[in-house]
Structure 1
């Protein structure tokens, strides 16, 4: 993805080595907003080993304003057996509260949509907490449609370990 200059001088770009602290700060801020302040186990080192390796499995785009990361989009590839093509799963989207309303969230989503279109991916998907009305309204305004007939399922922790032993 080519960096994109926004009207106010901010830049949307692919993350690069050195961005780990800003990305982690965004992850932590998002966890606080989502009422899970103690849930983040990630570290700068783990981000470096995930995002900036020769064959990464996860990716990030950032909004940089005046040398500071003020927005993040962390994502990875999915695969649709029905379309036979990849897609993008947006794991986290966050914009610093003091910078909301400047179009940074839209710019981050547009950057992921560009990746999809340029690479022939069939979809861009994510989840949103059902109580997060401001985000839901933002996504609807962009044309996102809820997948009401689908319910996310998860196994983790002890349940994951027990399943692995079956």
Structure 2
């Protein structure tokens, strides 16, 4: 029998639980070496004076078992905002109970409510369970687009014109 779960907006008091789930996601993706942000930084940017992102939390019996973290971007072609899903994660022992789909659908509904022209996210190419999950929901995987990133010293050098 599937456990009863709730999906709710995350609040400041959830920062520690969210941070732990983010670490669990990093373990799943074999990227724990990249986790450097603190609970305090997460709380500041999600719940502080200037909020850069939002999160939904999935709970079973009061325990945080999954989350979706998202933020607005903008499409110049559509001249409309979009919603970008940065992370969607459910603890392995709670998967296949509809929690991930409920989180995903809630963020999609927010995109519609907010008048967004796009709802986008990235998936690691080796993550076949996630790719199958998104295809099942009707997503188009865009192979022609590659995610680009600069961080740290490279970002500073670009910003300074070095």
- How far the C-alpha of 1:53 sits from its partner, in A, is 2.2
Q: Which of 90, 114, 119 is the aligned partner of 1:119?
A: 114
Extract unaligned runs of 5+ from structure 1: 1-6
Question: Do residues 85 (structure 1) and 72 (structure 2) align?
Answer: no
For residues 161 and 56 of structure 1, the distance between their equivalents in structure 2, rounded to whole angstroms, comes to 23
What is the aligned partner in structure 2 of residue 38 from structure 1? 33
Which secondary structure does the structure 2 equivalent of 1:138 belong to? Answer: helix
- How far the C-alpha of 1:79 sits from its partner, in A, is 0.4
What is the aligned partner in structure 1 of residue 157 from structure 2? 162
For residues 47 and 156 of structure 1, the distance between their equivalents in structure 2, rounded to whole angstroms, comes to 18
For residues 165 and 117 of structure 1, the distance between their equivalents in structure 2, rounded to whole angstroms, comes to 39
- How far the C-alpha of 1:8 sits from its partner, in A, is 4.1
Q: Structure 1-normalised TM-score?
A: 0.92
Tell me which protein shows more helix as a share of its residues.
Answer: 2
Which secondary structure does the structure 1 equivalent of 2:154 belong to? Answer: helix
For residues 159 and 123 of structure 2, the distance between their equivalents in structure 1, rounded to whole angstroms, comes to 28
- How far the C-alpha of 1:54 sits from its partner, in A, is 3.7
Q: Structure 2-normalised TM-score?
A: 0.94
What is the aligned partner in structure 2 of residue 148 from structure 1? 143
For residues 66 and 114 of structure 1, the distance between their equivalents in structure 2, rounded to whole angstroms, comes to 25
Extract unaligned runs of 5+ from structure 2: none
For residues 119 and 165 of structure 1, the distance between their equivalents in structure 2, rounded to whole angstroms, comes to 36
What is the aligned partner in structure 2 of residue 60 from structure 1? 55
- How far the C-alpha of 1:55 sits from its partner, in A, is 3.6
For residues 17 and 68 of structure 1, the distance between their equivalents in structure 2, rounded to whole angstroms, comes to 16
For residues 50 and 152 of structure 2, the distance between their equivalents in structure 1, rounded to whole angstroms, comes to 27
For residues 33 and 161 of structure 1, the distance between their equivalents in structure 2, rounded to whole angstroms, comes to 30
RMSD of the TM alignment (CA)? 1.2
- Matched pairs, number: 160
- How far the C-alpha of 1:65 sits from its partner, in A, is 1.0
Moved over 6 A (4+): none
